[in-house]
Amino acid sequence: MIELAESRSAHNYHPLPVVIASAEGAWVTDVEGKRYLDCLAGYSSLNFGHGNPVILAAAHAQLDRVTLTSRAFFNDRFGAFASGLAELCGKDMILPMNTGAEAVETAIKVARKWGHDVKGITDPNIVVMEDNFHGRTTTIVSFSTDPDAHDGFGPYTPGFRIVKYGSAEAIADAIDENTVAVLLEPIQGEAGVLVPPDGYLRQVRELCTERGVLMIADEIQSGLGRTGDTFACDHENVVPDMYVLGKALGGGVVPVSALAADADVLGVIKPGQHGSTFGGNPLACAVGETVVNLLKSGEYQARARELESVLFEGLRALPGVTAVRGRGLWAGVDVDPSLATGRQVCERLMARGVLAKDTHGSTIRLAPPLVVEAREIEWALAQLGAVLTGSELRAAGGRP
């Protein structure tokens, strides 16, 4: 099965050698019937768990009614989704798309158009962060500082200024009269779950207000419950001008992404200037509205908050772990590189029934679905402990 997939698809991923056939809650089952605790959760797309019964019921019901209309017409699910999500975000309106990268592209377009129409800027720039990850389109990789994501894909889209993440001074220095926006992840996920210094988001907020530029928070991975709040920005009581949302908004069922902003910002987009055939389709809206309602209950945010200490205290107690970063149920874990690479750790975890993903050398990311139980986290940490202390690393080719 793996051979077939590998021989007939581009090698744009390097998956762990596990073939998943079914899933429920925080667990997946492979084609041989072996179960694994899913500690990646589709890069946080599965915050509400695999096969969440409430989301599935909404999707099933919608499948039998109507699934796609295009935005050439209204559909009877769109209004409730748009108003529910706007309300959750405390914003006037949303603009729905499908994938995360599309939503980021949309945010860039909206910021440029806002700069053009409202501020009369014809040569706009957007301040972005080192080690960012916002997706894979040609414009987005133009301002990536990761050589794998960036190199060889030029010519690059101009109009971005890259500054050090975590430094409000660096942003202040980069903003000039042509700056229309500052785009950042409130916690940098793909970079290794990098949490900025306390007060950073608040400083960025104040700076953007003072200098009259839009603060755009890419909450595609950090948002929708993952960090113990609805948004990672909530941790500093910061409200950006624009939220960029995706991943968990689709409930692990369909791709759903969106921008949320006030009318003075999103209102700059007029008919014909932006769109997507599938954006805002009835199936996506039915799922998205259900996700919004789950978040409105606060239950998932509370779970992430309550389980945070189980995850982080457990990780910090493990031998071979050199640093732990994160918030809620989202951790970046650096393992001693003399013990193993992140990939080797993930392979050995897999053998022990835990699925996780490495990033950048010796860092692994843990982000289980928010339905995970405390005892399941403890069990996963015991597996990680066994991997880091055990002879298995030597068996896996790790450096003893």
Ligand X SMILES: Cc1ncc(COP(=O)(O)O)c(C=O)c1O
The answer for 165, left when phi > 0, alpha when psi is -120 to 50, beta otherwise, is beta
Task: Give the Cα separation of 79 and 332 in Å (integer).
Answer: 38
Task: Give the Cα separation of 40 and 346 in Å (integer).
Answer: 11
Query: Do 331 and 367 form a contact (C-beta atoms < 8 A)?
Result: yes
Strand order from edge to edge, sheet including 93-97: 93-97, 257-261, 242-245, 214-218, 179-184, 125-129, 160-163
With binding defined as CB under 6 A, does residue 100 bind ligand X? yes
- Interface residue with ligand X among 47, 99, 301, 344 (CB under 6 A) is 99
With binding defined as CB under 6 A, does residue 200 bind ligand X? no
By CB atoms closer than 10 A (0-12, 13-18, 19+), residue 219 is buried
Which residues share a beta bridge with 29? Answer: 22, 35
Within 276-295, the residues that bind ligand X by CB under 6 A are none
Give the CB-nearest residue to ligand X: 100
- Interface residue with ligand X among 221, 281, 363, 383 (CB under 6 A) is 221
| Least distance CB 339 / ligand X (angstroms) | 27
| Least distance CB 104 / ligand X (angstroms) | 5
What 3-state class would DSSP assign to 116? helix
Within 122-151, the residues that bind ligand X by CB under 6 A are 133-135
Residue (124 or 189) nearer to ligand X, CB: 189
| Least distance CB 274 / ligand X (angstroms) | 17
**Listed residue (219, 150, 217) closest to 189, CA to CA:** 219
- Interface residue with ligand X among 16, 20, 29, 43 (CB under 6 A) is 43
- Active-site annotation holds for 247: yes
Residue (46 or 393) nearer to ligand X, CB: 46
Catalytic position from the list 91, 113, 247, 357: 247
| Least distance CB 343 / ligand X (angstroms) | 18
Stretch that binds ligand X, among 19-27, 94-102, 197-205, 358-366 (CB under 6 A): 94-102
Which residues share a beta bridge with 40? Answer: none
With binding defined as CB under 6 A, does residue 218 bind ligand X? yes
- Interface residue with ligand X among 115, 189, 282, 332 (CB under 6 A) is 189
- Interface residue with ligand X among 190, 241, 289, 347 (CB under 6 A) is 190
- Interface residue with ligand X among 115, 223, 228, 246 (CB under 6 A) is 246
| Least distance CB 98 / ligand X (angstroms) | 8
| Least distance CB 243 / ligand X (angstroms) | 12
What 3-state class would DSSP assign to 321? strand
Residue (304 or 318) nearer to ligand X, CB: 304
- Active-site annotation holds for 270: no
Contacts of 185 (CB under 8 A, 6+ apart): 129, 132, 133, 134, 217, 218, 219, 221, 222
Give the helix ranges, DSSP H, for 281-395.
282-296, 299-316, 342-351, 374-389, 392-395
Catalytic position from the list 78, 133, 143, 312: 133
Angle at 270 between CA 269 and CA 275, to 5 degrees: 75
- Active-site annotation holds for 64: no
Residue (192 or 398) nearer to ligand X, CB: 192
Residue 147 — φ and ψ, nearest 5°?
A: -55, -40
Task: Give the Cα separation of 204 and 55 in Å (integer).
Answer: 35
- Interface residue with ligand X among 101, 107, 108, 331 (CB under 6 A) is 101
Assigned token pair, 371: 């339905």
| Least distance CB 84 / ligand X (angstroms) | 21
The binding site for ligand X (CB under 6 A) comprises 43, 99-101, 104, 133-135, 185, 189-190, 218, 220-221, 246
* Residues tagged active-site: 133, 218, 247
